[in-house]
Structure 1
Amino acid sequence: MPVPHTKRICQIIKLKPSAVDEYKAIHAAVWPGVLVALERAHIVDYSINYYPPLQLLIATMKYTGSDYEADMKKVSEDPETQKWWSMTDGMQESFVEGAEGSGKEIPWWTEVEEVFRFEGTTK
Protein backbone atom coordinates (compact mmCIF):
# COMPACT_ATOMS: atom_id res chain seq x y z
CA MET A 1 0.00 0.00 0.00
CA PRO A 2 1.58 3.34 -0.99
CA VAL A 3 2.35 5.88 1.70
CA PRO A 4 0.38 9.12 1.15
CA HIS A 5 2.28 12.31 0.45
CA THR A 6 3.06 14.03 3.70
CA LYS A 7 3.51 17.74 4.24
CA ARG A 8 5.16 18.49 7.57
CA ILE A 9 4.11 21.66 9.33
CA CYS A 10 5.67 23.43 12.29
CA GLN A 11 4.08 26.53 13.79
CA ILE A 12 4.78 28.77 16.76
CA ILE A 13 2.83 31.23 18.88
CA LYS A 14 3.30 32.84 22.29
CA LEU A 15 1.27 31.58 25.27
CA LYS A 16 0.27 34.23 27.78
CA PRO A 17 1.88 33.42 31.16
CA SER A 18 -1.49 33.79 32.91
CA ALA A 19 -3.00 31.06 30.69
CA VAL A 20 -0.44 28.26 31.02
CA ASP A 21 -2.37 26.08 33.47
CA GLU A 22 -5.72 26.51 31.71
CA TYR A 23 -4.19 25.89 28.27
CA LYS A 24 -2.60 22.66 29.44
CA ALA A 25 -5.81 21.55 31.16
CA ILE A 26 -8.05 22.03 28.14
CA HIS A 27 -5.54 20.31 25.87
CA ALA A 28 -5.55 17.31 28.19
CA ALA A 29 -9.16 16.81 27.05
CA VAL A 30 -9.54 18.32 23.57
CA TRP A 31 -13.15 18.33 22.40
CA PRO A 32 -13.88 15.27 20.20
CA GLY A 33 -15.45 17.40 17.47
CA VAL A 34 -12.24 19.41 17.11
CA LEU A 35 -10.28 16.19 16.65
CA VAL A 36 -12.79 14.92 14.10
CA ALA A 37 -12.43 18.15 12.09
CA LEU A 38 -8.65 17.74 12.07
CA GLU A 39 -8.91 14.12 11.03
CA ARG A 40 -11.34 14.98 8.21
CA ALA A 41 -8.78 17.55 7.04
CA HIS A 42 -6.06 14.87 6.80
CA ILE A 43 -4.08 16.13 9.80
CA VAL A 44 -2.17 13.40 11.63
CA ASP A 45 0.62 13.18 14.19
CA TYR A 46 -0.31 16.57 15.67
CA SER A 47 1.38 17.74 18.85
CA ILE A 48 1.84 21.01 20.71
CA ASN A 49 4.88 21.53 22.93
CA TYR A 50 5.53 24.34 25.37
CA TYR A 51 8.89 26.05 26.01
CA PRO A 52 8.45 28.15 29.19
CA PRO A 53 11.57 30.40 28.98
CA LEU A 54 10.16 32.01 25.81
CA GLN A 55 6.47 31.28 26.56
CA LEU A 56 6.50 29.51 23.21
CA LEU A 57 4.00 26.98 21.91
CA ILE A 58 5.41 24.81 19.14
CA ALA A 59 2.94 22.82 17.06
CA THR A 60 3.98 20.06 14.67
CA MET A 61 1.70 18.06 12.43
CA LYS A 62 1.60 16.12 9.20
CA TYR A 63 -0.83 16.75 6.39
CA THR A 64 -1.61 13.73 4.19
CA GLY A 65 -4.26 15.18 1.87
CA SER A 66 -3.96 16.71 -1.58
CA ASP A 67 -5.32 20.27 -1.10
CA TYR A 68 -3.98 21.80 2.12
CA GLU A 69 -5.61 25.22 1.68
CA ALA A 70 -9.06 23.73 0.99
CA ASP A 71 -8.81 21.36 3.94
CA MET A 72 -7.71 24.13 6.31
CA LYS A 73 -10.64 26.23 5.09
CA LYS A 74 -12.98 23.36 6.05
CA VAL A 75 -11.41 23.24 9.53
CA SER A 76 -11.86 27.00 9.91
CA GLU A 77 -15.55 26.68 8.96
CA ASP A 78 -16.25 23.93 11.50
CA PRO A 79 -18.52 25.38 14.25
CA GLU A 80 -16.99 23.40 17.12
CA THR A 81 -13.47 24.33 16.02
CA GLN A 82 -14.52 27.99 15.88
CA LYS A 83 -15.78 27.75 19.49
CA TRP A 84 -12.50 26.06 20.52
CA TRP A 85 -10.46 28.82 18.88
CA SER A 86 -12.56 31.52 20.54
CA MET A 87 -11.43 30.03 23.83
CA THR A 88 -7.76 29.32 22.99
CA ASP A 89 -6.98 32.45 20.94
CA GLY A 90 -7.43 34.63 24.01
CA MET A 91 -4.67 32.66 25.72
CA GLN A 92 -2.20 33.34 22.94
CA GLU A 93 -0.30 36.23 21.36
CA SER A 94 0.41 35.97 17.64
CA PHE A 95 3.77 36.90 16.16
CA VAL A 96 2.05 37.76 12.86
CA GLU A 97 1.41 41.45 12.35
CA GLY A 98 -2.28 42.15 11.76
CA ALA A 99 -3.44 38.68 12.85
CA GLU A 100 -6.83 38.74 14.55
CA GLY A 101 -7.38 35.09 15.42
CA SER A 102 -7.41 31.52 14.17
CA GLY A 103 -9.10 30.77 10.87
CA LYS A 104 -8.88 34.33 9.57
CA GLU A 105 -7.22 35.55 6.36
CA ILE A 106 -3.96 36.46 8.15
CA PRO A 107 -2.52 33.37 9.88
CA TRP A 108 -2.69 33.37 13.71
CA TRP A 109 0.17 30.89 14.20
CA THR A 110 3.53 31.52 12.50
CA GLU A 111 4.67 28.74 10.19
CA VAL A 112 8.33 27.87 10.77
CA GLU A 113 10.68 26.84 7.98
CA GLU A 114 12.13 23.34 8.12
CA VAL A 115 15.91 23.48 7.75
CA PHE A 116 16.82 19.84 8.48
CA ARG A 117 15.14 16.44 8.41
CA PHE A 118 16.49 12.97 9.20
CA GLU A 119 14.06 10.14 8.53
CA GLY A 120 15.96 7.46 10.38
CA THR A 121 18.15 5.68 7.89
CA THR A 122 21.70 6.24 6.67
CA LYS A 123 21.61 3.49 4.01
Structure 2
Amino acid sequence: MSKRVCQIIRLKPSAVEEYKAIHAAAWPAVLATLERAHITDYSNHHYPPLQLLIANFKYTGNDYEGDMKKVAEDPETQRWWKVTDGMQESFVEGAEGSGKEDPGGLFDLEEVFRFEGRK
Protein backbone atom coordinates (compact mmCIF):
# COMPACT_ATOMS: atom_id res chain seq x y z
CA MET A 1 0.00 0.00 0.00
CA SER A 2 1.44 3.36 -0.92
CA LYS A 3 1.39 6.56 1.07
CA ARG A 4 2.49 10.12 0.52
CA VAL A 5 4.72 11.89 3.00
CA CYS A 6 5.14 15.64 3.37
CA GLN A 7 7.71 17.12 5.74
CA ILE A 8 9.04 20.56 6.56
CA ILE A 9 12.22 21.97 8.02
CA ARG A 10 13.78 25.43 8.01
CA LEU A 11 16.70 26.16 5.69
CA LYS A 12 19.36 28.44 7.14
CA PRO A 13 19.51 31.62 5.03
CA SER A 14 23.29 31.33 4.84
CA ALA A 15 22.99 27.86 3.26
CA VAL A 16 20.47 28.43 0.46
CA GLU A 17 22.91 28.39 -2.44
CA GLU A 18 24.94 25.48 -1.06
CA TYR A 19 21.77 23.46 -0.41
CA LYS A 20 20.50 24.04 -3.94
CA ALA A 21 23.88 23.18 -5.44
CA ILE A 22 24.27 19.87 -3.60
CA HIS A 23 20.74 18.83 -4.51
CA ALA A 24 21.31 19.77 -8.16
CA ALA A 25 24.00 17.07 -8.14
CA ALA A 26 22.49 14.60 -5.67
CA TRP A 27 24.77 11.67 -4.97
CA PRO A 28 23.81 8.57 -6.99
CA ALA A 29 24.35 6.23 -4.02
CA VAL A 30 21.92 8.25 -1.89
CA LEU A 31 19.32 8.15 -4.65
CA ALA A 32 19.83 4.40 -5.03
CA THR A 33 19.22 3.95 -1.30
CA LEU A 34 15.96 5.89 -1.55
CA GLU A 35 14.91 3.76 -4.48
CA ARG A 36 15.68 0.52 -2.59
CA ALA A 37 13.55 1.89 0.27
CA HIS A 38 10.55 2.19 -2.08
CA ILE A 39 10.64 6.00 -2.18
CA THR A 40 9.55 7.58 -5.45
CA ASP A 41 8.38 10.95 -6.72
CA TYR A 42 10.58 12.79 -4.18
CA SER A 43 10.82 16.57 -4.36
CA ASN A 44 11.96 19.45 -2.19
CA HIS A 45 10.52 22.94 -2.47
CA HIS A 46 11.89 26.14 -0.96
CA TYR A 47 9.69 28.97 0.32
CA PRO A 48 12.14 31.87 0.88
CA PRO A 49 9.92 34.25 2.92
CA LEU A 50 9.84 31.74 5.80
CA GLN A 51 12.98 29.78 4.76
CA LEU A 52 10.88 26.62 4.59
CA LEU A 53 11.96 23.44 2.89
CA ILE A 54 8.99 21.29 2.01
CA ALA A 55 9.71 17.67 1.09
CA ASN A 56 7.18 15.39 -0.60
CA PHE A 57 7.55 11.76 -1.58
CA LYS A 58 5.57 8.66 -2.26
CA TYR A 59 6.32 5.46 -0.35
CA THR A 60 5.32 2.29 -2.21
CA GLY A 61 6.62 -0.45 0.10
CA ASN A 62 5.01 -2.49 2.86
CA ASP A 63 7.24 -1.65 5.86
CA TYR A 64 7.74 2.10 6.11
CA GLU A 65 9.54 2.06 9.47
CA GLY A 66 11.80 -0.80 8.39
CA ASP A 67 12.68 0.85 5.10
CA MET A 68 13.39 4.19 6.80
CA LYS A 69 15.69 2.34 9.21
CA LYS A 70 17.59 0.90 6.24
CA VAL A 71 17.97 4.40 4.79
CA ALA A 72 19.30 5.66 8.14
CA GLU A 73 21.84 2.79 8.30
CA ASP A 74 23.27 3.44 4.83
CA PRO A 75 26.83 4.84 5.15
CA GLU A 76 26.63 7.09 2.07
CA THR A 77 23.29 8.53 3.23
CA GLN A 78 24.83 9.18 6.66
CA ARG A 79 27.66 11.05 4.95
CA TRP A 80 25.09 13.08 2.92
CA TRP A 81 23.25 13.97 6.12
CA LYS A 82 26.47 15.17 7.75
CA VAL A 83 26.69 17.72 4.94
CA THR A 84 23.02 18.72 4.75
CA ASP A 85 22.02 18.66 8.45
CA GLY A 86 24.14 21.71 9.18
CA MET A 87 22.18 23.67 6.57
CA GLN A 88 18.86 23.14 8.33
CA GLU A 89 17.04 24.09 11.53
CA SER A 90 14.35 21.80 12.87
CA PHE A 91 10.88 22.66 14.10
CA VAL A 92 11.11 19.54 16.28
CA GLU A 93 12.28 20.43 19.77
CA GLY A 94 15.34 18.43 20.76
CA ALA A 95 16.02 17.10 17.24
CA GLU A 96 19.48 15.57 17.06
CA GLY A 97 19.95 15.25 13.31
CA SER A 98 19.30 12.71 10.60
CA GLY A 99 19.50 9.05 11.44
CA LYS A 100 18.56 9.50 15.08
CA GLU A 101 15.18 8.69 16.60
CA ASP A 102 13.54 11.49 14.63
CA PRO A 103 14.28 11.81 10.90
CA GLY A 104 16.69 14.71 11.12
CA GLY A 105 14.20 17.05 12.65
CA LEU A 106 11.88 16.89 9.68
CA PHE A 107 8.36 17.63 10.81
CA ASP A 108 5.67 15.42 9.26
CA LEU A 109 2.62 17.30 8.00
CA GLU A 110 -0.90 15.94 8.08
CA GLU A 111 -2.49 15.43 4.69
CA VAL A 112 -5.87 17.14 4.66
CA PHE A 113 -6.74 16.84 0.96
CA ARG A 114 -5.64 14.93 -2.11
CA PHE A 115 -7.02 14.79 -5.65
CA GLU A 116 -5.45 12.26 -7.97
CA GLY A 117 -7.77 12.80 -10.91
CA ARG A 118 -10.57 10.68 -12.19
CA LYS A 119 -9.77 7.06 -12.86
Per the shorter chain, which TM-score range?
over 0.9
Among 30, 33, 40, which residue is 1:37 paired with?
33
Partner of 1:118: 115
Normalised by the size of structure 2, how large is the TM-score? 0.97
Give the letter for the 2:29 counterpart.
G
Output the CA distance in 1 between the equivalents of 2:90 and 2:39.
22
Residue identity (%):
76
What's the RMSD between the two structures over aligned residues?
0.9
Structure-1-length-normalised TM-score: 0.94
1:11-40, Cα deviation, whole Å (9 max, x unpaired): 000000000000000000000000000000
Question: Is 2:79 aligned against 1:83?
Answer: yes
1:106 Cα shift? 2.6
Instruction: Show the counterpart of 1:50.
Output: 46
Count of aligned pairs: 118
Greater CA deviation, 98-107 or 57-66? 98-107
Residue 98 of structure 1 contacts residue 106 of structure 1 at CA under 8 Å; is this kept in 2?
A: no
Cα deviation, 1:40-73, whole Å, max 9, x if unaligned, reads: 0000000000000000000000000000000000
SS for the counterpart of 1:49 is strand
Structure possessing the higher radius of gyration over alpha carbons:
1
Question: Where do 4+ consecutive residues of structure 1 move more than 3 Å?
Answer: none
**In structure 1, how many angstroms separate the alpha carbons of the residues matched to 2:99 and 2:91?**
15
Q: Secondary structure at the match of 2:102?
A: coil
1:18 to 14, 19, 42: 14
1:99 and 1:106 in contact (8 A); partners too: yes
Which residue identity does 1:116 align to in structure 2? Answer: F
Matched, 1:69 2:65: yes
Q: In structure 2, list runs of 5 or more residues that go unmatched.
A: none
Query: Distance between the aligned counterparts of 1:106 and 1:49, measured in 2?
Result: 21
